[in-house]
Amino acid sequence: MALEAGALDTTLAAAAGDDPELFAELRAAFIESLTRQIDLLRRARCDGNWQVAAMRLKGLAASFHAEPLIELAEQALDSAPGEPSIVRRLQGFLDEFSGN
């Protein structure tokens, strides 16, 4: 996923232009929002909560043109609430992007 995270950084850099502070702020906002949505998915126990969290995740991914994350969100939408493999893949994406 290294190339995927690099593509997302490229998108953020294009949005921030020559402003490194804005780039850092956008990157931090993305990481914070992604962390929140993964947490909501992790805690979802019913179809409704799972679907809402997955749709929010897909919206976040679309707003940053993060195609790999859009695909993961679509997989979440197609899976049962609490599906551990989806949550692990999303956490892996987050860990790689945030440098953990």
| Tens-digit pLDDT profile for residues 77-99 | 999 999 999 999 999 999 998 88
How many whole angstroms separate alpha carbon 91 and alpha carbon 47? 20
| Tens-digit pLDDT profile for residues 1-53 | 443 556 676 777 777 777 788 888 988 999 999 999 999 999 998 999 999 99
- pLDDT at residue number 2: 42
Q: pTM of the entire structure? A: 0.83
